[in-house]
Amino acid sequence: MGDPDRRTTYAAEDMVTAWLDATSFETGEVQVTVRRDGRNQRATFTPEVEPRFSRPSEVTAFVDKVLDRLQDLSRQHGSGYRGREKKPVRVVAHSGWKKASYSEGFIFLPARERGGSWALRGLVVLHELAHHLNTGVEGAIIDVHGEGFRSTFVRLLEDIGWIQIAAMLREAYAQTGLDRRRGADDGMLEKVGKLLRHAEGASTEAEREAFFSKAQELASVHSIELAVARAAHEQGENAHTPTFESVRLGHRGQPSNVRLIQLMLAVARANDLRCSIRQDNTGVTLYGFAGDIDVTQMLYVSLAVQMVADADAYIRSGAHRPVHGRTARAAFYEGWTNRIGQRLHEARRAARAASGVDREPATAPGSKALALAAKDLEVDDYYDTMRRQHGVRGTWKGSSAVNDARSTSRGRAAADRARLGDEKAISA
């Protein structure tokens, strides 16, 4: 199996270790210079304490502790690693000094006395553990140091509470050109979701408006990037092969996660993507072409803000009574997302009709119809392959039906007024 991202992945992680080593003992902070939007900027991080080890045998306790933490999370919210956190890992010293590696349940680390001190630190150990977690259900390596590995590594850091170091790693990946910043990158979708949840639970009108204002500000910024993403997509500037991207929409245990996933699925289906859903309902993985993924993420941000704002206005009006507010909100969301899905499907169908694709023979060489059919087949094949490799099984059950027809109807009516942006540009 090829490993084209190996050198760049190592370079990004070397960047993070240099930043960690430069952290101030007095403040616990490190300031670094990063390149964003074509200019140099200063970024400040407050990284968690990274453990150091004197010998490989000391690493065993650390690895066991990490796996125990992941198993606890799995019992509460479902596995995010295809059950790999339940597989034991042994740490073994080897005679070399230049290399740390993972193979079939073993992490091999060099000894300090042989010049291996560089590997006896938490980040290096977790890199090797990420290989263990990124292995397929039948023991096959998924993508070595590719996008799937990097996503697994970042998720591992977040799951053990290393939030700042995870942010540093994402930044380093972006700085080295591995994972380019899209409009919704840097946790943008999760930020919007967090603001909307705060707005739902605000105790005063001023607090509610402040949270909505900030969420709308983020959505407005990204509505511009949505237009850019769509323009690039129309011009064919997306990748020529399918890819995937894991997107976190919320935190574990949030009841609204299911509704946000339903909204993301509606947008994704209208833009030629296939999806898998995390067992703990905190996010999805999108499979398809990069341009379609860009459009889907940007449109989702705008629609999520509108959906929660519409539901909040409905609940505050009191029109849902005597139904409990939580039940009414869930029914409103259900009606809203169902209607938005229909509108997106209608807009997609209109775009196809305007392009003349439906009037072309599906087998005509060079026709749009043939190209679209080939695209669908390529995405389906890619999704099936990745689903087998990642051990994705079963069907998402979603949420149970909510028995509140009035609130569902009001949600559908509100969705009719929602802004979809440049509807003619939805991919055909």
pLDDT score, position 370: 65
Q: Which residues contact 103 (CB under 8 A, 6 or more apart)?
A: none
Q: Is the pTM of this model over 0.85?
A: no
Whole-number pLDDT of residue 203: 67
Q: What is the mean pLDDT of residues 54-61?
A: 83
* 3-class secondary structure, 36: strand
CA distance linking residue 319 with residue 389, whole number of Å: 49
Nearest CA to 28 out of 52, 42, 47 is that of 47
Q: Is the pLDDT of residue 49 over 60?
A: yes
For 374-408, what is each residue's pLDDT tens digit? 778 888 888 888 877 766 766 776 666 778 899 99
Give the model's pLDDT for residue 141: 58
Amino acid at residue number 178: L
Q: What is the pLDDT of residue 320?
A: 92
Alpha carbon distance 198, 251 (integer Å): 13
In the prediction, which pLDDT does 119 show?
Answer: 82
pLDDT of residue 63: 92
- Least reliable range by pLDDT among 191-195, 261-265, 338-342: 191-195
SS3 labels along 355-415: HCHHHCCCCCCCCHHHHHHHHHHHHHHHHHHHHHHHCCCCCCCCCCCCCCHHHHHHHHHHH
Q: Mean pLDDT of all residues in the chain? A: 78
The average pLDDT across 57-62 equals 86
Question: For residue 367, what pLDDT is reported?
Answer: 59
**What is the C-alpha separation between 119 and 97, in angstroms, rounded?**
9
- Tell me the C-alpha distance between 344 and 56, whole Å: 55
DSSP state of 318: T
Model confidence pLDDT, tens digit, residues 202-217? 666 667 656 655 655 5
Which has the minimum average pLDDT: 24-28, 122-126, 218-222, 406-410? 218-222
Structure-token match 């979603």, residue found: 398
Distance, CA of 417 to CA of 412 (rounded, Å): 9
Backbone angles phi, psi at 36, to 5 degrees: -135, 135
Q: Determine how many CB atoms are found less than 10 A away from the CB of residue 250.
A: 23
Residue of 311 and 368 predicted with greater confidence: 311
Given a cut of 90, is residue 40 above it in pLDDT?
no
| pLDDT score, position 183 | 41
- Residue 235 in 3-state DSSP? coil
Question: Which amino acid makes up residue 304?
Answer: A
pLDDT at residue number 421: 55
Q: How far apart (Å, rounded) are the C-alpha atoms in residues 96 and 79?
A: 35
Q: What is the pLDDT of residues 230-285, one digit of tens each?
A: 444 555 544 467 888 888 887 777 777 888 899 999 889 888 899 988 878 888 88
Q: Please state which of the ranges 38-42, 151-155, 364-368 shows the lowest mean pLDDT.
A: 364-368
* 73, 159 Cβ separation under 8 angstroms: yes
- Interhelix angle for 405-416 vs 325-355, to 10°? 40
Residue 358 has pLDDT above 90, yes or no: no
